[in-house]
Amino acid sequence: MKLSRSDVRCKVHKIPDLKFEQQSLTSFAGLIIFQQFFIIIGLKARLGHCFEQLKSGSIFGHATIFLQLIVHILLGYRELRDSDYYRDDPLVKRILGLKRLPDVATISRALKDAGEQSVEKLRCFLRDMVLERLGKLQLARITLDFDGSVQSTGRSAEGTAVGFNKKGSTVKSVG
């Protein structure tokens, strides 16, 4: 079904007042806090800069799709098809500024369209956000903890480092 932009997008600027009384809330009511946070850091606009070189013929912009993926992970989902669980949730739509969420095929096409240049811009954006925040915190010390993970390389050992874990099995990390 072909949709127009006005059928899909909506403007949301005001954060609703929270009142602790007997109300029927959606399962994802906590997103209201993230909505304000995303507005403060200008997340959607900053995501838009990562994808500005891509054609914008789609009703759902790449920034909106990637913002949905962030919300998707915040809600605890990992598979794209899990978006069906919150497809009709009004707060999810609100935080994305949409009246209707994209389907899985639309999300997949947007991911396919995001080429190497977009991915590099996204990495730079995320790195800059972390460094910006670290600069504001002015911490005396930062500890980075990198955990190794076991990855099967099948029979191909090219480009892997081999180690040993306590359980006695071979650990290979792709390098």
Mean pLDDT by 10 residues, the chain (175 residues): 76 66 70 89 92 81 93 93 91 90 92 89 93 92 77 58 53 51
What pLDDT, on the 0 to 100 scale, is given for residue 28? Answer: 83
Domain boundaries, the chain: 5-137
pLDDT at res. 4: 79
Instruction: Give the pLDDT confidence score for residue 24 in this predicted structure.
Output: 63
Tokens of 158: 């090219």
Burial of 58 (0-12, 13-18, 19+ CB in 10 A): middle
Whether pTM > 0.75 for this model: the answer is no
Q: What confidence score (pLDDT) does residue 170 get? A: 52
Strand partners, 9: 98
User: In the numeric block, which tokens belong to residue 113?
Assistant: 């369209």
